[in-house]
A = this chain, B = another copy of it.
Amino acid sequence: MSRGKVLVASVLLAVAGAASAELNQEQAERAVETRQSVLHLMGWNMAPLGAMARDRIDFDAERVATNAGRLLALSRMLSDAFAADTRGNAVDTEALDVIWEQPDEFAAKIQANIDAASALVDVAAAADEGAMREAIGRLGSTCGSCHDDFRADD
């Protein structure tokens, strides 16, 4: 698909918005790519924080502050990223149907992630290492809690 067509498809999808919109194959694959991009970047930014909290690498308060801000920005993209309902499409995804079957429960998991990322941003600004370690753990728990219910097992 050319970049022009990709952009048009993205715009149409953004405009369509509603979770109940019928997606063609191109739109559905694009939607999967979008949500996987958000989650990939969450993992990319979370992984070193988890390693710091577990003393596997040196604690770096500046890196925590940077990545916490990124994680908060990414957490706030989750709702839009999962708005497109791909249940009716043949796509390669670990996203379970229950995401769109139980939207309130899924929204609550996202909010917990946003809240935990926001809390980490706050304690990172205060440069309190003990509080950062705890906040990293709580943030990681919100990731796992959502994966338990809404992501296919390996």
Interface residue ranges, A against B (CB under 8 Å): 2-3, 6-7, 10-11, 14-15, 33-34, 36-38, 40-41, 43-44, 47-48, 50-51, 56-57, 69-70, 73-74, 76-77, 154
Smallest CB gap from A51: residue in B: B11
Smallest CB gap from A73: residue in B: B73
Cα distance A7–B73 in the bound complex, in angstroms: 21
So how many copies of this chain end up in the complex? 2
Tell me what chain A mostly uses at the interface: helix, strand, loop, or mixed. Answer: helix
Contact B37 A41 (CB under 8 A): yes
Chain B residues contacting A33 (CB-CB under 8 Å) are: 40
Smallest CB gap from A40: residue in B: B37
Contact A48 B14 (CB under 8 A): yes
Contact A11 B154 (CB under 8 A): no
Q: Select which of B15, B36, B41, B43 is within 8 A of A38 by beta carbon.
A: B41
Cα distance A69–B34 in the bound complex, in angstroms: 17
Closest Cβ of chain B to A135, distance in Å, is: 19
Chain B residues contacting A73 (CB-CB under 8 Å) are: 69-70, 73-74
Contact A11 B48 (CB under 8 A): yes
Cα distance A73–B75 in the bound complex, in angstroms: 12
Contact B15 A48 (CB under 8 A): yes
